[in-house]
Amino acid sequence: MSELPLSAYFARKEISPLVELGAYEWLWLNKLDSFAAFADLARKRPDLLPSDLVPETVARSTARDALSRLAKSGAGQFGIRIQGSGEYPARLRDAADPPALLWYQGWWDLINAPRTVAVVGTREITDQGIRRTRKLVGLLVRHNCVIYSGLARGVNAVAHQTAIECGGATVGVSATPLSDVDPQVEWILQRRIATEFLLVSQAPVLRYAKKEQRLQRALFAERSRTMSALTQATIIVEAGEISGTQIQAQAALDQGRKLFILNGCFDQPGLTWPARLEAAGAIRVREYEQILDAVCI
């Protein structure tokens, strides 16, 4: 699962990942305010690369700065995937604003697994939510599903941990760069996923270091849209009335992915989003077999 040395990785690519990495980072430092900004340009010119917008010398210099920060963080070896290259995930093109560049660590082949399911929900998970998440993930793993989640505490962390404990595979889709970690997530869990399974991120390293709250909020939203696009289905275990989980839920519907909501969400007083999403096409899950019948075909 370990990556090739960076020099070998760069040498064997017709498109220079080093230059694209640096150009991507420079654009985020100087030009981009959102993922939509680059996506809008790419829609007009499908073959557009970050390096088309940044001089090569500037891109290489910026890449060195980004690599230096990654090295100092102890992030370890990594790879990147560039939109427009053959190894860029085909599923991700269904996102409204596909990232120009995706960082990853670990076992890249998991991205193309035939059965992929995102299990998501609240950070403030209840005891009942823990039991439901464990039961659900255990069942999915037994049916050879790769479990995606977002490396946050609560439902996400329980989903990752249960997949590992059950002998399955899990993919962490991070809202932070490889050089950082969500303060509410155990570093040890993220590093285990990165080394034994797969960790992906679209967050720009140098811009993130500026700690802009607006950007950090946007990265969590884009993380959710990316996770939805990379998977066949999203399952919501439990979530409050105001929850970022709803961003992923709407993305799943927009991208033509299946969206499942566990029945317990509908029984919570004061929650309006379950009925609204069901009316929009989400599936209310009364029996887990509903999910297996739809995903494990």
Residue by residue, DSSP assigns the chain as -PPPPHHHHHHT-SS-HHHHHHHHHHHHHHT-SSHHHHHHHHHH-TT--GGGGS-HHHHHHHHHHHHHHHHHHT----EEEEBTBTTS-GGGGGSSS--SEEEEEE-GGGGG-S-EEEEE--SS--HHHHHHHHHHHHHHHHTTPEEEE-S-TTHHHHHHHHHHHTT--EEEEESS-TT---TTS-HHHHHHHHHHSEEEE---HHHHTT--HHHHHHHHHHHHHHHHHHSSEEEE----SS-THHHHHHHHHHTT-EEEEEHHHHTSTT--HHHHHHHHT-EEESSTHHHHHHH--
- The pLDDT tens digits of the residues spanning 136-194 come to 999 999 999 999 999 988 999 999 999 999 999 999 999 999 988 776 677 889 899 99
Confidence (pTM): 0.92
CA gap 297, 292 in Å, rounded: 8
- Give the pLDDT score at 110: 96
- Is residue 228 packed enough to be buried (19+ CB in 10 Å), middle (13-18) or exposed (0-12)? buried
- Give the pLDDT score at 143: 96
- The pLDDT tens digits of the residues spanning 44-81 come to 888 889 999 999 999 999 999 999 999 998 888 999 99
- All domains of the chain, ordered by start, with CATH? 6-106 (no CATH), 109-295 (3.40.50.450)
- Give the pLDDT score at 2: 40
- Whether the predicted pLDDT of 82 surpasses 90: yes
Phi, psi values for residue 59, rounded to 5°: -60, -45
- Whether the predicted pLDDT of 292 surpasses 70: yes
Mean pLDDT score across all residues of the chain: 91
CA gap 297, 288 in Å, rounded: 14
- Give the pLDDT score at 42: 86
